[in-house]
């Protein structure tokens, strides 16, 4: 937390607006929309809620298909199933670890030939880096399939100068406790379409029709953000740029301190944009390094240092075993050999030194 969060939170508490709406929510939405340069924003209870309502806006329904990055956290795909639709997974490309534009194009072509296009594409900006939107958007436009950008991990990143979350027709963000800025739990949905954002606000507030009593002509959700948490979010937005600097500095440090080790690689940083440095991820080639990713992870764990394998791709998850996948070997390979290192913005230099020394000591 920075300094403003406490003040804003107390201001919210003292105002007695302790509800999932209020002036802090309104202000957070306005300030967030300005920060990312999107026309409209609605603050929600989670990134997952934002994905759910983004898909609902695009009329995803029973038995529809939605193309989703396979290399991601489960929430990106779970939301598709909430609407009775089926995710179809697209593998990552080695160059960015994000959705492979060529595989997306292939899948869209195959869907068109089958006469059944997907209702939407959900593209994830992984570990703080935007996907390669030039060819991805070109493919989506060619087949007229709308794109939702899952920017849960990438607030503060850019693609050719455009902020993460503004490349598709709808962008979603997460303020979960592990994200670059947090409200403990929370999310945001943005779009240039004011009518869409208004509709999401309506659904997220239990779909209350305008009436003095409770009148409902649609099914709603209880997905609004608390006024208290929005106050925290406003303070966090003020330190976002600093958080990006701190996280990128972690990455530069790890690259300099571990880059000479044979068999250790880093997530490639694409030249088309700036990443936000959210997590520093390495790959380990056991034959060149001398031991595998798991040995490193377990050694770090024995020293009370938390690290984690890269996301297990969705096409390898038991719950999605019946879903179609295009490609699959790139993300599967990254899952086998990849590790997320401690990357918090409050890491001390002693802590970073310890991580590095512990990894270096594993080299056989």
Ligand X SMILES: Cc1ncc(COP(=O)(O)O)c(C=O)c1O
Return residues touching ligand X (CB under 6 A). 46-48, 72-73, 75-76, 124, 150, 152-153, 174, 176, 187
- By beta-carbon proximity to ligand X, the closer residue of 175 and 289 is 175
- Kindly tell me which of 129 and 227 has the beta carbon lying closer to ligand X: 129
CB of 181: closest distance to ligand X in angstroms? 12
Least distance from ligand X to the Cβ atom of residue 48, Å:
3
Q: Which is nearer to ligand X, 70 or 227 (CB)?
A: 70
Q: How far apart are the first and last CA of the chain?
A: 40
Q: What are phi and psi of 304, to 5 degrees?
A: 65, 30
- For the bound state, the minimum distance from the C-beta of residue 74 to ligand X, rounded and expressed in Å, comes to 8
Q: What is the distance between the alpha carbons of residues 357 and 190, in angstroms, rounded to a whole number? A: 42
Of the pair 179, 199, the CB lying nearest ligand X is at 179
Pairing label, strands 281-284, 338-340: antiparallel
Q: What angle do CA 336, 339, 343 make, to 5 degrees?
A: 160
Going by C-alpha positions, the residue among 233, 276, 313 that lies closest to residue 24 is 233
Q: Given phi > 0 = left and psi -120 to 50 = alpha, else beta, which region is 354? A: alpha
Closest separation in Å from C-beta 152 to ligand X: 3
State both tokens at 267. 């997530």
In the complex, the smallest distance separating the C-beta of residue 295 from ligand X, rounded to whole angstroms, is: 26
Nearer residue to ligand X within complex by CB, 200 or 261 = 200
CB closest to ligand X, residue no: 47
């Amino acid at each position: 937390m920075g300094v403003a969060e406490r003040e804003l939170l107390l201001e919210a508490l003292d105002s007695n607006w302790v509800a999932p709406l209020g002036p802090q929510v309104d202000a957070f939405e306005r300030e967030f929309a300005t920060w990312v340069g999107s026309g409209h924003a609605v603050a929600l209870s989670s990134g997952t809620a934002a994905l759910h309502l983004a898909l609902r806006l695009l009329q995803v329904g029973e038995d529809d298909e939605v193309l989703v990055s396979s290399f991601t956290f489960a929430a990106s795909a779970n939301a598709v199933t909430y609407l009775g639709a089926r995710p179809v997974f697209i593998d990552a490309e080695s160059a960015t670890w994000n959705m492979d534009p060529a595989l997306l194009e292939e899948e869209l072509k195959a869907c068109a030939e089958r006469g059944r296009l997907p209702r939407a594409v959900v593209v994830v900006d992984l570990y703080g880096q935007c996907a390669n939107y030039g060819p991805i958007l070109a493919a989506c436009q060619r087949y007229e399939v709308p794109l939702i950008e899952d920017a849960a991990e990438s607030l503060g990143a850019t693609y050719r100068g455009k902020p993460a979350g503004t490349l598709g027709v709808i962008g979603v963000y997460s303020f979960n406790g592990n994200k670059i800025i947090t409200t403990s739990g929370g999310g945001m949905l943005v779009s240039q379409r004011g009518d869409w954002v208004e509709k999401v606000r309506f659904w997220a507030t239990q779909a209350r029709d305008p009436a003095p009593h409770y009148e409902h002509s649609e099914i709603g959700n209880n997905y609004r953000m608390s006024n208290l948490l929005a106050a925290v979010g406003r303070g966090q937005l003020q330190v976002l740029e600093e958080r990006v600097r701190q996280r990128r500095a972690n990455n530069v440090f790890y690259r300099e301190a571990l880059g000479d080790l044979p068999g250790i690689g880093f997530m490639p940083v694409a030249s088309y944009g700036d990443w936000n440095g959210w997590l520093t991820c390495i790959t380990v080639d056991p034959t060149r390094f001398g031991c595998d990713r798991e040995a490193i992870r377990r050694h770090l764990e024995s020293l009370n240092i938390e690290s984690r394998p890269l996301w297990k791709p969705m096409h390898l998850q038991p719950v999605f075993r019946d879903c179609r996948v295009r490609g699959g070997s790139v993300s599967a390979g990254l899952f086998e050999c990849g590790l997320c290192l401690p990357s918090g913005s409050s890491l001390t230099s002693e802590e970073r030194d310890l991580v590095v020394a512990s990894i270096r000591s594993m080299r056989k």
